[in-house]
Structures are given as structure tokens and as C-alpha cells.
Amino acid sequence: AQSVAQPEDQVNVAEGNPLTVKCTYSVSGNPYLFWYVQYPNRGLQFLLKYITGDNLVKGSYGFEAEFNKSQTSFHLKKPSALVSDSALYFCAVRVITGANNLFFGTGTRLTVIP
């Protein structure tokens, strides 16, 4: 069985400060991990993914995420938050040998305070 946990429903951070949105996963095989962002009244936009190789992956809009196999985590980070980063963030997992669909976490609402 596959599952994703986003332990924080809400994260608030001041503009210019670093941000972290947490994600842990549970799979019965090697995972592919993804981050998506949903702005108000918009669809899900792909941010970044971990497939293999370097544990630190870089994505759109200055975001990056670090894959940590021992802690089964894939936290999303950004060195300096912008007000425009305020949105709903979803972590998702897919197993290499499984079906191609994504299993999503419950989402974390990020609010960047000016």
C-alpha cells in the first residue's frame, strides 16, 4: 500500500524567510516523489520530482526538495519565500513497479506574510 503524509495543514512564513513544507511517504517499493502546487481557482501545477540520482532536486519558481530514504521524507523548501508562493501544496508518490497513478497527501496551505 502507498500513502503520503503532510503533517501540517497550514504553514505560515514571513516574506523573505526560508520555507519548508513537510512530506513523508510509505511505499512497498522504490518511490517516485512529486510536488504539485494549486493556486486559487487553478489546477495542479507540477513543481518538481525525484526519480533517481541526486537527493536534492530543483524545480520551478526556486523550489527544491530533498529525498531522504532513511527518514522516508521529501520536504519541499525555498530559501526566500515570496507572497506569491501562497498556495496549496501537495506531495504525491508513485511506485516504480505499480500503476502510473499518483497517491496524494492531504495538502498543506502555505501563507507567506508580507
Instruction: Tell the smallest beta-carbon distance from residue 51 to other proteins (Å).
Output: 4
Strand ranges in 1-114 using DSSP code E only, listed in sequence order: 3-5, 10-14, 19-21, 24-26, 31-38, 44-50, 56-58, 64-68, 73-78, 87-95, 103-104, 108-113
Neighbours of 1 (CB within 10 A): 7
The stretch near other proteins (CB under 8 A) out of 11-19, 65-73, 74-82, 104-112 is 104-112
Work out whether 49 is an interface residue with other proteins (CB under 8 A): yes
For residue 102, which of 43, 50, 34, 48 has the smallest C-alpha distance?
Answer: 34
Looking at the DSSP bridge assignments, the partners of residue 111 are 12
Q: How far is the CB of 101 from other proteins (least distance, A)?
A: 4
**Residues binding other proteins: what is the number (CB under 8 A)?**
26
102 in contact with other proteins (CB under 8 A): yes
* Closer by beta carbon to other proteins, 20 or else 98: 98
44 binds other proteins (CB under 8 A): yes
* Binding of other proteins by 82 (CB under 8 A): no
